[in-house]
Amino acid sequence: MFQSWYSGQKAQTLALLSDLHRHPETGFEERRTAGIVVAHLRRLGLEVAECIGGTGVVGRLVGQGQPNGTPRRIAIRAELDALPMQEASGLDYSSTIDGRFHGCGHDGHTVTALTAASYLAAHPDFAGEAIFIFQPAEELLRGARAMLADGLFDRFPCDEVYALHNLPGLQPGHVGVPDGAALASSDDLDVTISGAGTHGSAPHTGADTVLAAASFMTQLQQAATRVTDARAAAVISFGKITGGTARNILPGSVRLEGTMRCGDQVARARLGKLMQDAARAVELVHCVRVEMQITPVAPVAVNASLCRDAILASAMKLLGAEKVVPHAQHLMASEDFAEFQTRIPGGYFFVGQDGPYPHHPNYRFDPDIIPIGAEIFVDLVRTRTAHPHRFNNQKAQ
């Protein structure tokens, strides 16, 4: 039923995707995008709230079906923002804004959620409520927290929340559902190593902060594999090193900027302690001072078991078991959808496509993801509002 309905909506759906793609907006600047979402939801007859957490939008649709007990509220979340980078995809509907690009597919995710909302508004024979959350600033890993701070779940209480992401590398038309952790935590690392600068010909008269910085980074990489479980995913990377004014002067300070990503909270805690220990060791050996700040950005995105099972059941029913990966590998990327999952049970899944990975200038979102993701969202709303402890009469594997 959904697919036949979508065939009649496909042209206008792709036109909407093209429009959003041509006009990308970065985090907390998604005013045009949010306006389009608001207008679409209001045309469908949803209750709409604007400017939640800055530029976030929420739509509420009340089903007309008979609830089995207390009506339940199921949330679908999509991202609004684009990336501050130049597009080189060659699409005939490429970005019209220099240095702005929907290089992660959030335009497609937004259209997918709107498609699900459109179908449910036209077929409201479900129990409970469907809450559609359009979040700003996911790329900054700040939008979810901003919406929560603005009272998102106080104003729109939800029992469960679901989201998807496109995934090059997963076979097109297939759905992957990770067990437990779906995405890694993220912490920003800012380290300043300072000491008495001196001439390169006489390092013994001062402190070699460059060597100390190199030693600090090397110690972390060597020791990280020994303080975390070999089965746990964890990675520390420093992408920016700043220091020095001349080739023959050992600088008075070196600044390191990096990230730490972990697949579970145990590894996250252990690596945090390792960094503190490594800093003290470098101070003693190199006669420098190490100042370090670890800033939490996003927690681990953990799929609640009941939400994982619900996604699997819907995907298997709609696509067939042969197109569903029930124990999909989690990613070391981070997503602030995890902030929602710390408040209520949540489920995150991937839909496969070909082409370059997100954040590549040649990346292209596959529009064929839209009907796949939207139909799963629709089925989740229908089944999770009607039978919260039953999974479409099909056991998840």
User: Which tens digits make up the pLDDT trace of 171-189?
Assistant: 999 999 999 999 999 999 9
CATH number at residue 52: 3.40.630.10
CB 78 within 8 A of CB 145: no
Q: What is the pLDDT of residue 395?
A: 34
Residue whose tokens read 């024979």: 125
Q: What is the pLDDT of residues 97-119, one digit of tens each?
A: 999 999 999 999 999 999 999 99
One domain for residues 217 and 317? no
Judge if 26 and 132 occupy the same domain: yes
Q: What is the CA radius of gyration of the chain?
A: 24
Domain membership flag for residue 393 = no
The pTM of the full predicted model, rounded to 2 decimals, is 0.92
- pLDDT tens profile 63-94: 998 877 788 999 999 999 999 999 999 999 99
Whether 393 has a pLDDT exceeding 50, the answer reads no
pLDDT grade, residue 368 (50/70/90)?
very high
For residue 18, the tally of other CB atoms under 10 A from its CB is 17
Domain that holds residue 61: 2-183+300-386
Averaged pLDDT, 12-26: 99
Residues 312 and 244 in one domain: no
**Tens-digit pLDDT profile for residues 296-351:** 999 999 999 999 999 999 999 999 999 999 999 999 999 999 999 999 999 999 99
- Which of 239, 267, 294 is where one domain is finished? 294
Question: Is the residue at 282 inside a domain?
Answer: yes
Inter-residue contact 131 to 73 (CB < 8 Å): yes
Q: How far apart (Å, rounded) are the C-alpha atoms in residues 284 and 286?
A: 6
Instruction: Check whether 2 has a pLDDT greater than 90.
Output: yes
Based on the domain organization, do 195 and 285 belong to the same domain?
Answer: yes
Residue 247 has pLDDT above 50, yes or no: yes
Is 394 within the bounds of a domain?
no
Please report whether residue 397 resides in a domain: no
Domain boundary among 266, 294, 322: 294
